[in-house]
Amino acid sequence: MNKWLYSGLILLATSLMGSSFAIGKMGLAFSSPILLVACRFTLAGLVMALFVKLFHRIHPKSLKSWGKIIVVGLFQTAGVMGCIFLSLKTINAGESSILTFTNPFLVVLFGTVFVKTKYRVLQWIGVSVGFIGVFITLGMSLQYEIGTILGLFSAVSWAIATLLIKAWENEFDNWVLTAYQMLFGGIVLIITSLLFEKPHFIITGESISILLWLAIMASVVQFGSWFTVLRIGDPGKTSAFLFLAPFFGVLSGWILLNEPLTYNLLIGGFLIFLGIFLVNWNPAAKRELQLKGAYNLKEREM
């Protein structure tokens, strides 16, 4: 695995993921929330579907395989985004983000219980420290509402999608999976918009620019990057980097919306990076590698 490529894709995906909260908030001045996210992912899915067709990417040949892509779309796009935007009707964005980004902890938990993946104590500690960092970054406030349940469902849905993608990674072309899961998820969100809100979208140059950014950069590029790192890395370790997303979200809010920077950001940011370090740090493996290198060197000298 190319560490520079892996790190670069992680930073790209999480920065786009985080900034989409601020840009999405700007878009809410022109559109009802679920319709905005529905248009975002339907447009992104259509663009990606055209892309994978033009470049002759390998498409699934069985209904079972298409069914798996639909399932990923239901969890990754419709489930996560639908629950997030519905939760915002009763709780604020910070609280929704805290709940959504419990996802890394749930990936480790579900991976242990259902996939029998073994994680080290340091990884459990790292995930816990990272979550505390997210909580502090977003202001240490959480109250119980119906939106709280929906926020938790978004994290559960995301964790399930992460493990499904890892389990089915060898069955699909990465870009084909990205394209059609977004398209199917976007269609479900359109139906959700019609059922749960009075959809409206004000067409202006600014609203179209926001929609295109959300659809292309914050969806096509973000999902493609994220699915790639899930494919080449361990899902538990990789998901720990999601703690960076709310950190970038606060930074983008400061840059784009003039939201204040606080000590919460500095303290929470430190804990986020510490948590990521602990999840990915394996001193035993490092010692084993050093011993192996020393043994090989000794053999060559003999």
- DSSP assignment of 125-194 equals HHHHHHHHHHHHHTTS----SHHHHHHHHHHHHHHHHHHHHHHTGGGS-HHHHHHHHHHHHHHHHHHHHH
Q: Which residues pair with 201 in a beta bridge?
A: 31
Task: Report d(CA 88, CA 63) in Å as an integer.
Answer: 36
What burial class does residue 284 get, using C-beta atoms within 10 Å of its C-beta: 0-12 exposed, 13-18 middle, 19+ buried? exposed
94-122: average pLDDT: 73
Give the least confident one: 131-135, 198-202, 260-264: 260-264
Q: Answer whether residue 292 shows pLDDT above 70.
A: no
Instruction: Give the pLDDT confidence score for residue 92 in this predicted structure.
Output: 61
Q: Answer whether residue 61 shows pLDDT above 80.
A: yes
Structure confidence by residue, pLDDT tens digits, 31-55? 988 899 899 999 999 999 999 999 9
- Contact between 231 and 95 under an 8 Å Cβ cutoff? The reply is no
DSSP 55: T
Percentage of the chain beyond pLDDT 70 is 80
Instruction: Give the pLDDT confidence score for residue 264 in this predicted structure.
Output: 72
- Buried b / exposed e across 60-91, counting CB within 10 Å, b at 16+? beeeebeebbbbbbbbbbbbbbbbbbbbbebb
Entry field: residues in the chain: 302
61-81: average pLDDT: 92
